[in-house]
Structure 1
Amino acid sequence: MSILGAKHPEFAAWEAEICAGVQGGGPFAVHGGGTRRIGLCEGASLSAADATWDYDPGALTLTVAAGVPVEVIDKMLATERQRIAFEVPDLRGLLGRDGISTIGGIVATNASGPRRVGVGACRDFCLGVGFVDGRGRAIKNGGRVMKNVTGLDLVKLMAGSHGTLGLLTEISLKVQPVPEMAATLIIEGLSEPEAVAAMSAALGTPFDVTGAAHLPAGVGVAARTLIRLEGFESSVAYRMGALQTALAAFGDSAVDWDSVTNDETWSAIRDVARFHGTDGDVWRVSVKPSDAPALVAAVQPEDVLYDWGGGRLWLLTQAGMDVRTKMGAGHATLIRASDGTKRRLGVFHPENAVVAKLSGGLRRKFDPDQKFNRGMMG
């Protein structure tokens, strides 16, 4: 069954209007609902249309205009017990913003939550994109099947480009059935190196872990290492028992089988709720998991959240601190700070000379006059 199988008639007219506007104007500040932008740029506001036109539950595919709110998509998918697989983070609480999160903003930032460690990132589920480039041309790439060979993979290129290559107009996604159940194994009291070792051991098993996070101790709360499994009830029960045996060397463990508390636990990790309402800067760091505890010890943040088995760190630091000076390998993005700090330190991790040359060449190709999100990524 296909829902809204034809594009809204208004979409073509809107797309033509955007193309004409880009050809004759600029610069533009490209955005979705404004809920997750972290970089700095100037220009006239430019956002995508809100229309939904093709959902095929049998094929697990969805095509929507880039301006469609994520909440609308979630509700549509829920009617067929399906979901966006990569567990979309909601950063409004972390960034102190209102607004409506859109699917275009999700793809533009490649926003991916805890489940990414098991199933992949946002870009891995993008089948096709439509966008308007800096010359005002409407471009489409990919389609609604996984094996769609159409030349240069612009789909992966646009995911994570933060609106610097063009305005996304439509998105095609692969979606996922909602599993019958989820359960979380909990080990309390591990040190951060021990927690990373336990998460690495869990991710090295054949038990299809879909979440691996560590929450250091807080006031009156012990440190908790969390491992999530999802699937059919009988399968989860069997795999959880085997996982407890595999991790027995790390100490006693308990299992949370309750769907409500599981949702609450992983939603809080996904949205970095631990840092909501706090003072200080927030950094998101990608690092080799085995290097994570040493980096945290060097930075000495106010607080930290380990996700992706330690491969992604959320660091709460004193305002103005430069985490990158404490790093060897890795990649650090300044998610929350004053505009002055962002200008001084840079939001995105500096690129090496080879990558910078490639990135600059791509931006000149797609947006030769730098009309879109000028200055956003250097």
Structure 2
Amino acid sequence: MRPSSESELAEAVAGAAGPLLVRGGGTRTLGHAVGEVLETAGISGVELYEPGALTLVVRAGTALAEVERVLAGERQRLAFEPPDLRAILGREGVSTIGGVVAANGSGPRRVQTGAARDAALGVRFVDGSGTVVRNGGRVMKNVTGYDLVKLMAGSRGVLGVLTEVSLKVQAIPEAEATLVVEGLDDAAGLACLRTALGSPFDVSGAARHSGQSLIRVEGMAGSVAYRIGRLKALVGGEATVVEGEESAALWRRVRDVVPLQGKPGEIWRIATLPTAAAGIVAAVGGTALWDWGGGLIWLLTEAGRGAEVAAAVAGKGHATLVRGQGGPVFPPEAPEVAALVAGLKATFDPRDILNRGMMG
């Protein structure tokens, strides 16, 4: 099914006789959801764009590339830097803004500006009964009612099918520069990133891979030059500075997990304490890309290492099997969390037809 409007989508959900597999562009789907495919890409288009208010309202099926093109025309962008994971997932298709929000897709700049859910001002969605629900608003001051906006971001379509999202956007800064620190082992390189993030120099990216620690700053040219200089003195090591497009290219590699692309094995996405990041990788082995100062690990391992990953991460975060057949995609939930999720599912999708099995 490919409805072309919110009302058609609501009718399709209300009349569904069995489970539905909700799909935007199919570029971020994880888990083992089953059912008839319900595509949202037909519900597309920009509803409202007010550059002066840094506000964008767009239908959920709109291609991410189209959203970025519209914003770039006014020298603006999505602050949360959504990643393109098609290469590591082995997917084709066109990423949609609804899929980005449903997956809470967030890149390196999350350490400064927050995740996709932090940029979301409002949503419209169709719940499992076919009812259209609206929550939030089109301005940042809207704080009334239940925060279904934050709930829907990252819910991967199990509670409702997004039809519209309202987002706050960001001006593209005048300059950017990246400090590239080499000559450190992983533990020292990650400590370097934590030092930078704990400084007053407004770091917008802190990542490590291939023996390099990367620290990014953005803003007015004079401010960027000053902060990079101070950071260089602060972190020590063998450091060089790259600027402009060369810097941007480094962060696209981090954002899209390019160092792990095209390599055999399983890929894990591990959210953890930055101080635990080096130890987790040392315990499991494999090839790692660390983002968010170590708070996010993309880890390439041999197949069948799920038990080792679970043991290394236990009590320190959670691991998601992004690519591979080593077991459950998502980590088991604590009983209290599972009860809360079951209650939400019963409220918003009492027939359990939306992305059934997605979180399994």
Q: Give the TM-score range, shorter chain.
A: over 0.9
2:312 to 313, 318, 326: 326
Superposition pairs of residues 201-212 of structure 1, within 5 angstroms = 201-212=195-206
In the other structure, the counterpart of 1:137 is 131
Name the CA distance, whole Å, in 2 between partners of 1:121 and 1:291: 21
Per-residue deviation, 1:149: 2.4
SS of the residue 1:132 aligns to: strand
1:364 equivalent in alignment to 2:358: no
Name the CA distance, whole Å, in 2 between partners of 1:211 and 1:92: 22
Number of aligned residue pairs: give it. 352
Name the CA distance, whole Å, in 2 between partners of 1:17 and 1:68: 17
Name the CA distance, whole Å, in 2 between partners of 1:327 and 1:91: 23
1:247 equivalent in alignment to 2:235: yes
1:49-90 residue CA offsets vs partner (Å, 9 max, x unmatched)? 112221000000000100000100111001100000000100
1:166 equivalent in alignment to 2:191: no
Per-residue deviation, 1:39: 1.3
In the other structure, the counterpart of 1:6 is none
1:179-234 residue CA offsets vs partner (Å, 9 max, x unmatched)? 00110001112111101111111000111100001113xxxxxx111100000101
In the other structure, the counterpart of 2:263 is 278
2:212 to 212, 224, 234: 224
Extract structure 1 runs of 4+ deviating beyond 3 A: none
Name the CA distance, whole Å, in 2 between partners of 1:279 and 1:246: 38
2:61 to 45, 58, 67: 67
Say whether the 8 Å CA contact 2:59–2:165 is kept in structure 1.
yes
Superposition pairs of residues 293-308 of structure 1, within 5 angstroms = 293-301=278-286, 303-308=287-292
2:301 to 317, 327, 336: 317
Say whether the 8 Å CA contact 1:114–1:211 is kept in structure 2.
yes
Say whether the 8 Å CA contact 1:230–1:236 is kept in structure 2.
yes
Name the CA distance, whole Å, in 1 between partners of 2:48 and 2:223: 33
1:354 equivalent in alignment to 2:336: yes
Name the CA distance, whole Å, in 1 between partners of 2:313 and 2:200: 32
1:255-306 residue CA offsets vs partner (Å, 9 max, x unmatched)? 112x2211211001000011111100000001111111111111011x1111
Name the aligned partner's letter for residue 224 of structure 2.
V
In the other structure, the counterpart of 1:16 is 7
1:167-189 residue CA offsets vs partner (Å, 9 max, x unmatched)? 00000000000000110001112
Name the CA distance, whole Å, in 1 between partners of 2:235 and 2:143: 42
Per-residue deviation, 1:13: 7.8
Per-residue deviation, 1:315: 0.3
Name the aligned partner's letter for residue 253 of structure 2.
A
Name the CA distance, whole Å, in 1 between partners of 2:158 and 2:124: 15
Moved more, 36-45 or 118-127: 36-45
Name the CA distance, whole Å, in 2 between partners of 1:332 and 1:278: 20
In the other structure, the counterpart of 2:37 is 45
SS of the residue 2:238 aligns to: coil
1:260 equivalent in alignment to 2:264: no
Q: Report percent identity of matched pairs.
A: 52
SS of the residue 1:253 aligns to: strand
Any gaps of 5 or more consecutive residues in structure 2?
A: none
SS of the residue 1:314 aligns to: strand
Superposition pairs of residues 23-34 of structure 1, within 5 angstroms = 23-25=14-16, 26-34=18-26
SS of the residue 1:123 aligns to: helix
1:83 equivalent in alignment to 2:77: yes
1:104-154 residue CA offsets vs partner (Å, 9 max, x unmatched)? 000000000000011111000000000000110001000111121231000
1:302-321 residue CA offsets vs partner (Å, 9 max, x unmatched)? x1111100010000011121
Per-residue deviation, 1:35: 0.6
Name the CA distance, whole Å, in 1 between partners of 2:27 and 2:11: 27
Moved more, 142-151 or 205-214: 142-151
Name the aligned partner's letter for residue 293 of structure 1.
A
Say whether the 8 Å CA contact 1:47–1:167 is kept in structure 2.
no
Say whether the 8 Å CA contact 1:141–1:150 is kept in structure 2.
no
Name the aligned partner's letter for residue 15 of structure 1.
E
CA RMSD of aligned residues (A): 1.2
Name the CA distance, whole Å, in 2 between partners of 1:76 and 1:111: 19
Name the CA distance, whole Å, in 2 between partners of 1:44 and 1:149: 36
Per-residue deviation, 1:325: 2.6
In the other structure, the counterpart of 1:93 is 87
Length-normalised TM-score, structure 2: 0.96
In the other structure, the counterpart of 1:178 is 172
1:121 equivalent in alignment to 2:115: yes
Say whether the 8 Å CA contact 2:183–2:238 is kept in structure 1.
no
Per-residue deviation, 1:245: 1.6
In the other structure, the counterpart of 1:219 is none
Superposition pairs of residues 177-196 of structure 1, within 5 angstroms = 177-196=171-190
In the other structure, the counterpart of 2:275 is 290
1:332-358 residue CA offsets vs partner (Å, 9 max, x unmatched)? 0110113xx3xxx21111110111110
